[in-house]
Structure 1
């Protein structure tokens, strides 16, 4: 009865009751809900429907991808992996779910992706710095915390230095294992020598963070945050090219080809290929233990004791390469770090070229390779 009186009172003028001209049903619905049917979902306007659609079609939302489905058989994501392979794990790690920041308490269920709450959580504004594997604490603002947390890799040059310690530089050691910088290491690449992601050789200087042009100050300056696609048009303000891969940035050749009409990406790829050949040659001629690289399965480098081009097997499984020396391990690590970032030519080309050159130069000593004859530049 009280509800009826309130409705009548709401439609009175100067204390006098008057007839209600509007539809009583409309007067009692204070929410933005569709009118009673028939209606279709397409009639409901969703302000951010395009962003949701773009995200849903992106790699961040692909629940079937290996990055998110790898743990399905285990029914729980490992704590060390959950931070970047599940929105739930990311929030747990940064304490955005009320838990202690800096670790994943878990358990983190499978089936999650990089969801809306990973990048749009209000708590991101409270994260002021992100820790990198090198020990660096890098200042961040807002959504940078998401990008920097998950695209930094899991190891650093310091990890390699600790592993090789004071071991003899060219003696194979079965205790050494390949150190994987992980995947999609764009943030680590971008910070360069300042971030310490690569193995830095003694008495060498390394380029720091790649600042690029002033408007390019964050990840979302180039990457559309929902589709993850790169906006190329802004590049044309300063560069003449048909694609980001064709941008040169320098007038000298770094790969010994002398061709400065191609993009800097081609120089990085060529030098990476040369380094891989030198790593293999070192395994053959110096370590006396041939290797085979297979990028489709971990740990990527496998034994080929008789050099027949076929991966050896141990207990019915591919035999991992176990004849690393400190010299070959650090070179292979730098090679993997460079090639783990498909956008290295845009994120920090100087740093990539420096790591490749120094690794080649180091291997050239026991191999007797003439670096000047190779024509490569640092």
Structure 2
């Protein structure tokens, strides 16, 4: 059942390239075209737009975000589900001008998420959110696990992939419920940045999609790297040092969760597991149990199939945090909560150490 929620994310913004916005000048059409040509949205050779070349068409569950014709049809259809249309689309387009500059995109306010939540976004970010929301949610994971015992290996469980660049799911946190949220825990909602930097295009260039560091240094003075920005004084890692950027903290928690997943799989689950960030479905049997992806292991026939519910929940959150490279900026508190809760759950039944971790 869909539930409607109104989220205020920031002030109204114009669709200008971020550099031009900072200079308070309107870009020329040539500058806009040049910016777009440099963006991932325009890369016609990318896998995102060439994956279906052999088939000659893009299926409806993919076409909305991987073709201009798909998003136009989706917006014209009075959407009743998250990012899906009921017919394929031809190959050969990217995310072109018309994908975002059309009456349907300009009037779009309510965005449906995989969790069933309908979020009202009246700040200009709605069209970005249609595609940058992932394809799964906490509800997807819960439904897949049914009534299985936490540590019961089941051939009926398969890895669930959030998909890629799900920035909106991260940013909205517990509103969209993109991560797996553990029972009994509370989760951060939409990450509220400062008022003038609360929307997609107030940080990202509307056409080239890059973020300009100088847009951050007004508040984060002296910072020369986004990853050095700290968003909380809390000593999350329990090291006595809270000066490292929040991105560094998240990387450390991801590394710990990766090790914890391998520990649990060996000690409690159905056998050694290893992760590859470049091969679907990402988790594979570690045939020699050496903790590394060796030649031939990251192949679909060798995919990991000895899942327990506890292991799948942790692996899902690991992927959620891994496939949004900007999670540290989009919603660091939600991301940290998911990682720590996953570690703590694995630690209940295996030799995973969570000593000193502080949950925001």
The alignment status of 1:112 with 2:82, answered yes or no, reads no
The alignment status of 1:265 with 2:257, answered yes or no, reads no
State the alpha-carbon separation in 1 of the partners of residues 348 and 87 from structure 2.
Answer: 49
Q: CA contact under 8 A between 2:155 and 2:305: conserved in structure 1? A: yes
State the alpha-carbon separation in 2 of the partners of residues 288 and 88 from structure 1.
Answer: 44
Which residue number in structure 1 is paired with residue 74 of structure 2? 93
Q: CA contact under 8 A between 2:39 and 2:209: conserved in structure 1? A: yes
State the alpha-carbon separation in 2 of the partners of residues 186 and 297 from structure 1.
Answer: 21
The alignment status of 1:329 with 2:312, answered yes or no, reads yes
CA apart distance, 1:287: 1.1
CA apart distance, 1:140: 2.4
Which residue number in structure 1 is paired with residue 165 of structure 2? 184
> Over residues 167-198 of structure 1, what are the superposed CA-to-partner deviations in whole Å (9 max), with x where a residue is unaligned?
01101101100000000010000000111111
Q: Which ranges of structure 1 fall in alignment gaps of 5 or more residues?
A: 1-45
State the alpha-carbon separation in 2 of the partners of residues 208 and 100 from structure 1.
Answer: 27
Which residue number in structure 2 is paired with residue 75 of structure 1? 56
Tell me the C-alpha RMSD between the 2 structures. Answer: 2.0
CA apart distance, 1:142: 7.2
CA apart distance, 1:100: 5.9
Q: Which ranges of structure 2 fall in alignment gaps of 5 or more residues?
A: 1-26
Which residue number in structure 2 is paired with residue 42 of structure 1? none
CA apart distance, 1:288: 4.0
CA apart distance, 1:124: 1.8
Which residue number in structure 2 is paired with residue 354 of structure 1? 337
CA apart distance, 1:296: 1.0
State the alpha-carbon separation in 1 of the partners of residues 232 and 123 from structure 2.
Answer: 33
**Per chain length, whose mean CA-contact separation is higher, i.e. which structure has more relative contact order (CA < 8 Å, sep 6+)?**
2
Which residue number in structure 1 is paired with residue 303 of structure 2? 320
CA apart distance, 1:227: 1.1
Which of residues 293, 296, 314 in structure 1 aligns to 2:275?
Answer: 293
The alignment status of 1:136 with 2:81, answered yes or no, reads no
Once the two structures are overlaid, the 10-residue window that deviates more, 103-112 or 352-361, is 103-112
User: SS of the residue aligned with 2:274?
Assistant: strand
> Over residues 190-225 of structure 1, what are the superposed CA-to-partner deviations in whole Å (9 max), with x where a residue is unaligned?
000111111111110100000111112210110011
1:129-168 → structure 2 map (5 Å cutoff)? 129-141=110-122, 143-168=124-149
The alignment status of 1:253 with 2:235, answered yes or no, reads yes
Change in Cα spacing, 1:50 to 1:331, as seen in structure 2 (3 Å) is same
